[in-house]
Structure 1
Amino acid sequence: MLARSGKVSMATKKRSGEEINDRQILCGMGIKLRRLTAGICLITQLAFPMAAAAQGVVNAATQQPVPAQFAIANANTVPYTLGALESAQSVAERFGISVAELRKLNQFRTFARGFDNVRQGDELDVPAQVSENNLTPPPGNSSGNLEQQIASTSQQIGSLLAEDMNSEQAANMARGWASSQASGAMTDWLSRFGTARITLGVDEDFSLKNSQFDFLHPWYETPDNLFFSQHTLHRTDERTQINNGLGWRHFTPTWMSGINFFFDHDLSRYHSRAGIGAEYWRDYLKLSSNGYLRLTNWRSAPELDNDYEARPANGWDVRAEGWLPAWPHLGGKLVYEQYYGDEVALFDKDDRQSNPHAITAGLNYTPFPLMTFSAEQRQGKQGENDTRFAVDFTWQPGSAMQKQLDPNEVAARRSLAGSRYDLVDRNNNIVLEYRKKELVRLTLTDPVTGKSGEVKSLVSSLQTKYALKGYNVEATALEAAGGKVVTTGKDILVTLPAYRFTSTPETDSTGRLKSPPKMSKAICRIVNRAWWSFRHLR
């Protein structure tokens, strides 16, 4: 018994030792896995700045060179390649000159996104006489920063390989790397947007029903062409709507022409329409025209208690906007718009008109590029009018905030080059056409024939949206002839009057009628001599 117990005890100890050994192996594998994960993160972190530096070299190599005939004018300048987070404003400050002076130094260069939207990898001409010792290194531009980042990452990799790392340290390192890369990616992503705008519209009732958010994104561009998309989200007349469009603009030194296509959709009422537009711009002047074509048909209109149906109205508009060259902060706007339909709600759903048109005149004031105040007065048919006030916040993510708050930058935004990424001017609100639903369909029996004094039903069929409360029947001629009308529920009962002779019957020598009338029948035609009105319960 003792020997048998001893064998059992030894077997138990052996299994316990195997479990401990297995745990140590699993723990070791977990540590190695965490170290491997952190190592991959660090190696990737090391590769990103090197790739960014290579991209900057490629961009600099592909930058359009200064023409040889202008070399003398730029004899006192040297090329400068922008680094991460740099802009024309920051470069001008770094070299101690104004943006206007920097623009003049680069007047003979051509930039894919325009001078006001240069970014990392673009090349500018800067003053050559400024000592590099007096310059503040730009963020992410100097090779020292790159070398320091590579050395720091290499040191972290060496530490990772030389020492054991617990799970918390590995997780912290991975989180730090992910946060850094996400921040950099977000900054680069935002810098690619052309324009973002928030409009807080206030009408004469001080409501914000016309507020909206727009943004324009350039997908492909050269100095002469720009392919972009524009997107809008807004809530107008208690309807949430989105507008998505694609556009192309062609630039010359003195003018721009473009075309765009839009798809407008009402998320609240499920209406859709297509839009096509054309643009023509010059310095301090913008001309455009838009056409709107419905894509969906009649739908029930909850905004009018579902007693009406609605669909997008077809229409078009012509727009002009200009600014004073001597005072570019102040501008004016004119719009003429025309829509088609019998009951079109151009101004309001309760003020519908047939084939309405309207003329809009407005003024706008821009103290600095980020903010614009505007006031508009719209005048339509039959004295209809609307007054609107709005505050626009127009943000260009790729431009420094200091530049967007500088009043001196407003003039540049009015130029053809400065307005390259301006939004398409159109009516993003889907104007609706309405029609009344058939709420009551009543079919009467016509003619009603029968014997004098006989009771007949007048209602052949009745269809109503709401519960029928009753009839109001006016049948004066019938009652004067001796007839009677009684309403019972959904039916109308008519008591036929006696037949009335229109002449004296002729008799023969025996006193009999020559052609006796059909006294057994009396004919009653009352449909065209009665007026009916209906009251319904909702």
Structure 2
Amino acid sequence: MKLGELAKDEEGDLKTLVFSQARFATATDAEGSTVNLGLGIRNRPDDVSMVGGNVFLDYRMTDYSDAHSRLGLGGEYLWKDFEFRNNWYMAITDTKNVIVDGVSYGERVVPGWDLEVGYRLPSNPELAFFVRGFNWDYKDRSDNSGIEGSVSWQATPHIGLEAFVSNEISAASTTANTDLPGTDETFFGLRMNITGNPVKFEKANYKKNMIAQMTQPVKRKYDVLLERSTGLVMEVGGE
């Protein structure tokens, strides 16, 4: 993940970091796979805060058509026990005509954004609470807007667990608009995050906690959300 340490503080600890990030994911019901490539920079202005920015190319490959591409821009700010993050997701590729199970659809990347606020317990910094607002801009159905609440626990230096409740439609697999759940439905789940670089939090040691988070993956939505509707008709060539 680390590309280079641009600066260290007077005590020789990491102050400014430029990093790259790569991720590959697939699933049995995903009809393909996703590759995420990112670049970012993080800086500690002082011992109690961290600020960062990042850019990602998200590439969604499918088993039935050409791939979809998305651009992601994000920013983050951590101060003492509080965490703030904002991400924007923008389509690069246009709507594609696809045929799935003999049915013609128009398929496009759904653009959107999210904004998250978190609070880490000073007496137990391994435990944190987050509230995340989001909006996904569908074209042929109502937008998926709402709030996600989650509780995050760093169980070990390499394993983090997060329980969440949300009305956000999953992007792991693609379903026709007519088969999507309603925007008022609620989903519960548990996420597991396994990291190569250890995450160790200490009570009342903001500097060390900030340094620990500087080398961790960016917190964002990596799955590319696709919208599939019957608004387009396939053209058949011929004389």
TM-score above 0.5, yes or no:
yes
Q: TM-score, normalised by structure 2?
A: 0.76
Residues 425 and 305 (structure 1), Cα distance of their counterparts in 2 relative to 1, 3 Å cut: farther
Q: CA deviation at 1:221?
A: 2.9
Return the letter of the residue paired with 1:295: I
Partner of 2:60: 266
Matches within 5 A, 1:347-386: 353-379=141-167, 382-386=183-187
Partner of 1:291: 88
Q: Does 1:234 pair with 2:25?
A: yes
Query: How far apart are the structure 1 equivalents of 2:226 and 2:115?
Result: 19
Higher helix share: 1
Deviations, residues 188-240 of structure 1 (Å, cap 9, x unaligned): xxxxxxxxxxxxxxxxxxxxxxxxxxxx3333431232111111111265131
Match of 1:421 among 202, 206, 215: 215
Q: TM-score, normalised by structure 1?
A: 0.36
Q: CA deviation at 1:438?
A: 4.9
Query: How far apart are the structure 1 equivalents of 2:61 and 2:24?
Result: 10
Any stretches of 5+ residues in structure 2 without a counterpart?
9-14, 169-181
Query: How far apart are the structure 2 equivalents of 1:313 and 1:395?
Result: 31
Query: How far apart are the structure 1 equivalents of 2:26 and 2:119?
Result: 28
Partner of 1:331: 128
Match of 2:230 among 436, 444, 451: 436
Q: CA deviation at 1:341?
A: 2.5
Matches within 5 A, 1:183-332: 216-223=1-8, 224-235=15-26, 238=30, 239-253=32-46, 254-268=48-62, 269-303=66-100, 305-332=102-129
Q: Is the Cα–Cα contact under 8 Å of residues 167 and 183 in structure 2 kept in the other structure? A: no
Match of 1:410 among 201, 211, 215: 201
Return the letter of the residue paired with 1:300: N
Higher strand share: 2
Return the letter of the residue paired with 2:128: G
Aligned pairs, how many? Answer: 208
Query: How far apart are the structure 2 equivalents of 1:438 and 1:267?
Result: 21
Partner of 1:395: 196
Deviations, residues 405-442 of structure 1 (Å, cap 9, x unaligned): xxxx43269721221212111111111233314559xx
Q: Is the Cα–Cα contact under 8 Å of residues 61 and 67 in structure 2 kept in the other structure? A: yes
Query: How far apart are the structure 1 equivalents of 2:36 and 2:183?
Result: 31
Query: How far apart are the structure 1 equivalents of 2:127 and 2:81?
Result: 11
Deviations, residues 477-505 of structure 1 (Å, cap 9, x unaligned): xxxxxxxxxxxxxxxxxxxxxxxxxxxxx
Q: CA deviation at 1:337?
A: 1.0
Query: How far apart are the structure 1 equivalents of 2:155 and 2:231?
Result: 51
SS in 2 for 1:395: coil
Query: How far apart are the structure 1 equivalents of 2:104 and 2:38?
Result: 33
Query: How far apart are the structure 1 equivalents of 2:220 and 2:101?
Result: 27
Query: How far apart are the structure 2 equivalents of 1:394 and 1:314?
Result: 28
Q: CA deviation at 1:306?
A: 4.1
Deviations, residues 328-351 of structure 1 (Å, cap 9, x unaligned): 2221122111121323xxxxxxxx
Q: CA deviation at 1:366?
A: 2.1
Query: How far apart are the structure 2 equivalents of 1:369 and 1:329?
Result: 10
Q: Could you tell me the percent identity over the aligned residues? A: 21
SS in 2 for 1:418: helix
Deviations, residues 133-164 of structure 1 (Å, cap 9, x unaligned): xxxxxxxxxxxxxxxxxxxxxxxxxxxxxxxx
Q: Is the Cα–Cα contact under 8 Å of residues 300 and 306 in structure 1 kept in the other structure? A: no
Any stretches of 5+ residues in structure 1 without a counterpart?
1-215, 344-352, 441-462, 465-538
Deviations, residues 223-271 of structure 1 (Å, cap 9, x unaligned): 2321111111112651310111111112122222121111110122500
